[in-house]
Structure 1
Amino acid sequence: MDSSHSHFQEIISNDKSESCESVLDPGRVGLAPFDVNLSQDVLQGSGVYLTWEELWVTVSTGKRDGAKSILRGLTGYACPGEVLAIMGPSGCGKSTLLDALAGRLSSRTRQKGEILINGQKQKLAYGTSAYVTQEDTLTWTLTVREAVYYSGQLQLPKSMSKFDKREIAERTIREMGLQDSMDTRIGEWGRKGLSSGQKRRVSICIELLKRPKLLFLDEPTSGLDSAASYFVMNRIVKLAREYGMTVVSSIHQPTSEVFQLLHNLCLLSSGRMIYFGPSLLANQDIEQGTGSKFTVEEVIDLLIASCSSSDTCKKMKTLVAEIRKRPYVALGFGLGSVFYNVGSSYNSIHERGSLLMFIASLLTIMAIGGFPSFVEDLKVFRRERLNGHYGALAFVVAHTVSSTPFLLLISAIPGAITYFLAGLHQGNVEFMYFTLVLFACMMLVESLMMIVATIMPNFLLGLIVGAGVQGLMMLSGGFFQLPKDLPTIFWKYPMYYIAFHKYAYQGLYKNEFEGRHFRNDQLGGPSTIEGETILRDIWQVEMGFSKWSDLGVLLGMVVVYRVLFFVIVKIGEKMNSVLAKDC
Structure 2
Amino acid sequence: MTESLSQSGTDFDAVYQSVKQEPFTVDIEQKALDNAHLMNDTVRNFVWQGITVVVKDHKTKAPKTILENIEGSVEAGEICALMGPSGCGKTTLLNVLARRDVSSAAKIDGTTVVNGKTPSLGAFRRLTSYVEQEDALIGSLTVRETMHFAARLAHKNSLTKTERMRRIDGLIESFGLRGQANSIIGTPIRKGISGGQKRRVSVASQLITAPKILFLDEPTSGLDSAASFEVISFVRQVAKRNNLIVIASIHQPSTSTFQLFDKLLLLSGGKSHYFGTVEDVEPQFESMGYPVPLHTNPAEFLLELMNIDFASHQAAASNRLQEIERAWVNSPKAIELSASINAAMNKKDPLSDTKPSKRNLPIILMTLVHRSFIKSYRDVVAYGIRVAMYTGLAIMMGTVWLRLKTDQNAIESFTNAIFFGGAFMSFMAVAYIPSYLEDHATYVKDRANGLYGPAVFMLANFIIGLPYLFLIDVIFSVIAYWLGNFQPTAPAFLTWIMWLFLDLVAAESLVVLVSSIFPNFVISLALTAFANGLWMSVNGFMVSPKLLNVFWRYVFHYIDYQAYVFQGMMVNEFADRVYSCGAGCSCMFQTHKVDSCHFSGLAVLDQYGYKTGETGKWVGILLAIVFGLRLFGWTALWVRK
Q: So what's the TM-score if we normalise by structure 2?
A: 0.42
Higher relative contact order (CA 8 A, sep 6+): 2
Under a length normalisation based on structure 1, what TM-score does the superposition of the two structures give? 0.46
